[in-house]
Amino acid sequence: MYSYFYMFSKYNMNLIIDIGNTRAKLTVFNNNTIIKKIISDIKSINKNVRKLQKDYIVENCIISSVSKFGPSEFKNAESFNTFIELSRHTNIPFINKYDSPSTLGVDRIALASAAATKCPSKNVLVIDAGTCITYDFINANGEYLGGAISPGIAIRYKSLHKFTANLPLLKKSNFKLIGTDTESSIHSGVLNGLIQEIEAVIGQYRAKYQNLTVVLTGGDTNFLAKKLKSTIFANPNFLLEGLNSILIHNLDE
């Protein structure tokens, strides 16, 4: 197995580590192909990295973190030929025209990088349906212009429960347009409301930018993709692919 991957991989293999608030995704890429992906709790990241290093010839690594887990907690950096901690100072494969580039989250940087490298010379709207719903736009000239941040599904349910006296805390479910009791009314309000928001935003971008490519990603990709009428590309791994594209971009420098 090792000799096969060594022969066909331009850079051998890359390890992509995407750390959220409660868990991390550890993904091994052979060039642009995902070979292995595991979900890890944050305290087990170092152990799982060592396990992947035993199973695969991993030479390069990029780490992206929105939590407090950073380089001081990561014990494996020196074991890689190239190690990158993604930040606003990292060399990226697009032109960042955000008015406050220092405040642009690493997750949105990765999504814009994926759009620039996987959809070159196209207008691309990336919708990341996770804890928040983020909209990120990169134009056909490879320029990142910005987007929007909106509450995600779970936040919408929690808000109704927290800021009212009697509404229950629910989780996403199938819904009908006309709610006939409290729970079905909440589902309709949260989910139908979000779907209409996404459809409207896509419509606004399509009215302004021709030949728009829309990518839906994030934890709620599969749930939302089936309910949207607009033509989209659903790719739950888009952020991971963006991180890998940043790593390759820096290896090519």
CA distance 37 to 48: 11
Residues carrying an active site annotation:
107
Asked whether 139 and 146 are in contact (CB, 8 A), the reply is: no
Asked whether 127 and 217 are in contact (CB, 8 A), the reply is: yes
Q: How many residues does the chain have?
A: 253
Partner residues linked to 29 by β-bridges:
14, 34
SS3 labels along the chain? CHHHHHHHCECEEEEEEEECCCEEEEEEEECCEEEEEEEEEHHHHHHHHHHHHHHCCEEEEEEEECCCCCCCCCCCHHHCCEEEECCCCCCCCCEECCCCHHHCCHHHHHHHHHHHHHCCCCEEEEEEECCEEEEEEECCCCEEEEEEEEECHHHHHHHHHHCCCCCCCCCCCCCCCCCCCHHHHHHHHHHHHHHHHHHHHHHHHHHHCCCEEEEEECCCHHHHHCCCCCCCEECCCHHHHHHHHHHHHHHCC
